[in-house]
Amino acid sequence: MPNWLGATARQRREAIEGYLFTGPVLLGLVFFALFPVVASLYTSLNRWDLIQPMEFVGLKNYVDLFDDDTYKLTVRNTLYFSAGIIPLGIVGALCLALLVDRQRRGVNLFRTLYFMPVVTSVVAVGLVWAWLLDTDFGLVNTLLGQVGIAGPKWLTSVEWAMPSVILITAWHGVGYNMVIFLAGLQGIPDHLYEAAQIDGANAWQRFASVTFPLLTPTTFFIAVMSVISSFQAFGLIYIVTMGGPANATNVLVFYLWQNAFTFQGKMGYASAMAWVLGLAILALTLAQMALAKRWVFYE
Amino acid sequence: MHQGITRKQALRLIGLGTAGALAAACAPAPTPTPVSPPKPAAPTPAPAPPTAAPAKAAEPPKPAAAAPTVAPTPTAAPKPAAPTPTAVAKPAAKEPVEIEATLWLDQTTETVFWDVTNGFTKNYQPLIKVKWSMTGAQYNEKLRTRIAAGTPPDIIWDGPGPRLINNVRAGVYVNLDSYIKADKEFKLSDFPESGMKFYIADGKVTCIPFGWCTGVLYSNKKVFDEAKVDMPTNSLTWDQYVEMAKALTKRDSTGKVLTYGVLANGSYWPYLGIQLGAPGVFHDHGVWQKPAYDHPANIEGLQLLQDLVYKHKVAPDPGALKTQPWMAMFTGGRLAMNQNNIYTTNEWLKQKMDFFMTFEPMLKKRSSGYWTSGPAISVKSKYQDQAWEFTKFVTMGEGTRQFSRAGWCMAGVTKYFGDFLTDEVKKRGGQAAIDAVAWPDNYIPHTGPLGEKIASEVNPIIDLVMLNQKTPADAMKEAQAKAVKVIAAGG
């Protein structure tokens, strides 16, 4: 029987059940996502070391960012890191996905091998790579030495540290993008390739005219996610270089963490950095979405 | 047969689970649980606690004077200090309690700390059990989080530097002055004043050192024997030190270094600067002076370090130390000498290595580091009196003597300095550590609330010097400008 809201008892019961099912998630979202976001905005307007009471300073923390040389350096380093990791991550993953797309003997083994770094702890990855790239005793320089090349100081010179971190990060994450590309590749209907082949298209033409255009939605997704994650790089840098040498690999989130926890708690300043970073990522994502109309093709 | 659960049952379970979780989350924080009464102490008589003459109330020394040769510059006025709660001395424990002490070491390796606390409970205070929470890495972060949550440990290990000053100003630590005045066993004058002054923050004693570390030169005797080089003496000059390092540095046929003569720790330059006549970098405990990074002696000190690596090629560059901890290099015979504070004696003894201690190589004047750390008591502690008993034990009682005999430091109070000279340490030249007390200096370059910020700006510049990508003169000029800017901005 309908009640005054027009819902039957069954509909009401189902609605209550629905809220109960989603309740825990909603509570989690409010307490562990929404509340911290709002709290960090408020914190960014204060001077706060976590211990003493907050002191309201208005927009001072935001203004100070413009006068902080280390912050400017970390912005440049972050852009450098992103410029390296995004193309490398996308192109590398696409190549790997193309390699393991076709069902050949042993292909599943290679898919697994390529994906394994993704499920390996970032700490283990960082420590192993630090040893591999050791200047004097690392495997990489030892092998280079055997062919007469004096290997560089991969992680301890200002010039090589960031490229090394980019390579390690790419190695660690490329498998994830590969799986997404693989899903995209396998969603391309075979009849399009057959039609292209009948038209006389060679392998490159089939890739350029069929595969790549139909992969653009996947590429777009990966590009957006790569931009976001590259701006949030932290784990490997913490393990491998600690932002050094001489701040050569100090990126935005690492500097943010230093301010929040190691400089006697500049929590307000760190929150301001987080908000600027968040807004920058939002702006970049919106820009990517706007540009997507020009190059992303949906079937 | 019906399998699984119905939607209604699932909802009930979820509802119960959520209610349970909320109830648990909202429950008050657990209070420290009294431990069971310990077993009676062993029948052997406990060592007598150190006796003291009837206490003349010890006045805390005045804050350290400013460095003499640097002119003050206008700086942001320090914020008024938060009132530090003053504790009232009360009778010792009447019922069993467990108190928690925290510090930054690795609790799986530092067994002497557990031996000390066990000895405290067994032989001195059977009703007080002390549990260590050793954090290993990220001590600052973990500690600050616990303080912010309102559940700090009862005893917090600290020492001269930004954290001590910040925590004193935030009212985190008990002002120990009233304890010191009321306790007849404890005399502040038993502690060396030249070191204690580094512990006075804003005129208050809130932290007491568990011992003292001077700086010495450690030599690996096996490496010297193999290279047929005479061991260094207390009259070693810097030039002799460099020549010795050259003789000790061994290379293979390709030129790869197998054994380095010395260690050129990039953070060591203020030590050398002082020995060359610099006034230090800062020593202020909150009142900032003009920084002295670009003092000629500091530039020269940094140059000496850079030369060890790139001119004389007798010390590993920072890259070589990335995956090879220098301590392992020293114990493993890949490093012949290193200058360090004497706390490392404990490590060399544990490794059973054949080492020798002498004065650090002489520059223009003798100078020695004089640093350590110690317990502070949290104002949130419910067991401040018991924490004070432990504080006394590890700073002027049997605890500090145990640390000293284990090679961690010289004891907190002067009269027990000789405890450091166990037979094992004495025959290895340990007297040098005690003699070095004669010329104490402040080697802590980044004290004060702005210290960490300045360090974060300056250290990358020093890194560039140690990577041979900047000259010491340019680096120090830049460091000076950065420090001035940070101070002017108030952090």
B169: pLDDT confidence band, cut at 50, 70 and 90? confident
Q: How confident is the model at residue B296 (pLDDT cuts 50, 70, 90)?
A: very high
B-contacting residues of A 87-146, CB under 8 Å?
A: 130-131, 134-138
- pLDDT score at B54: 29
Q: Decide if B319 and A157 are in contact by the 8 Å CB cutoff.
A: yes
Vertex B121: Cα angle to B142 and B196 (nearest 5): 60
pLDDT band at residue B23 using 50, 70 and 90 as cut-offs: low
Same domain, A75 and A209: yes
What confidence score (pLDDT) does residue B31 get?
A: 39
Fold of domain B214-370+442-489: D-Maltodextrin-Binding Protein; domain 2 (3.40.190)
In chain B, what are the domain boundaries? 97-211+374-422, 214-370+442-489
User: A38 touching B, CB under 8 A?
Assistant: no
In a domain, A217, yes or no: yes
Whether A23 has its CB under 8 Å from any CB of chain B: the answer is yes
The DSSP output letter for B216 is E
B254 vs A24, higher pLDDT: A24
What local confidence, expressed as pLDDT, does residue B49 receive? 31
pLDDT tens-place string over residues B321-373: 877 889 999 999 999 999 988 999 999 999 999 999 999 999 998 877 777 89
Q: Over chain B, what is the mean pLDDT? A: 80
Residue A74 CB coordination number (10 Å): 24
Residues B395, B390: Cα–Cα separation, whole Å: 9
Residues in chain A, pLDDT under 50: none
> CA A74, CA A162: separation in Å to the nearest integer?
12
Q: Which chain B residues are Cβ-neighbours of A265 within 8 angstroms?
A: 144, 166
Least confident interval from A11-15, A141-145, B54-58, B285-289: B54-58
Contact A52 B169 (CB under 8 A): yes
DSSP, residue by residue, A7-27: --HHHHHHHHHHHHHHHHHHH
Residue B435 and residue B392: Cα distance in Å, rounded? Answer: 25
Segment B132-137 shows an average pLDDT of 87
Q: Give the per-residue pLDDT at B92.
A: 56
pLDDT for position B15:
63
Residues A90 and A164 in one domain: yes
Sign of CA dihedral A110, A111, A112, A114: positive
Beta strands in B16-87 (DSSP E): none
Domain count, chain A: 2
Q: Do A245 and B456 touch (CB under 8 A)?
A: no
- Contact B324/A at CB under 8 A: yes
- The band of B48, judged by pLDDT with boundaries at 50, 70 and 90, is very low
Do the domains at B97-211+374-422 and B214-370+442-489 have one common CATH topology?
Answer: yes
CB contact under 8 A, A51 and B163: no
Full residue range of the structural domain in which residue A18 is found: 9-43
Is the CB of residue B163 less than 8 Å away from at least one CB of chain A? yes
Q: Which residues of B104-130 are buried (b: 16+ CB within 10 A; e: fewer)?
A: ebeeeebebbeebbebbbebbbbbbbb
What CATH fold (topology level) applies to the domain B97-211+374-422?
Answer: D-Maltodextrin-Binding Protein; domain 2 (3.40.190)
Cβ-defined contact of B319 to A24 (cutoff 8 Å)? no
Q: In this complex, is the C-beta atom of B478 within 8 Å of any C-beta atom belonging to chain A?
A: no
Task: Judge: B322–A17 Cβ closer than 8 Å, yes or no.
Answer: no
pLDDT at residue B115 in the model: 92
Instruction: Check whether residue A30 and residue A74 sit in a common domain.
Output: no
A197: left (phi over 0), alpha (psi -120 to 50) or beta: alpha
Complex prediction ipTM: 0.74
pLDDT of residue B86 exceeding 70, the answer is no
Hey, how many other C-beta atoms are within 10 angstroms of the C-beta on B217? Answer: 21
Q: Is A299 on the interface with B (CB under 8 A)?
A: no
Q: Do A51 and B144 touch (CB under 8 A)?
A: yes
| DSSP tag of A207 | I
* Chain B nearest CA to A246, separation (Å): 4
A258 to chain B: which residues are within 8 Å by CB?
A: 456
What is the structure's pLDDT at A197?
92
Distance in Å, alpha carbon of B418 to nearest chain A alpha carbon: 37
CA distance B444 to B465: 20
**A107 and A232 in one domain?**
yes
Name the residue with higher pLDDT: B491 or B304.
B304
Query: pLDDT tens, B422-455?
Result: 999 999 999 999 998 888 765 554 455 677 778 8
* pLDDT in the model for residue A96: 95
The pLDDT, as a whole number, for residue B487 is 81
Chain A nearest CA to B149, separation (Å): 9
Cβ distance of A158 and B324 shorter than 8 Å: no
Nearest CB to B162; choose among A138, A156, A264: A264
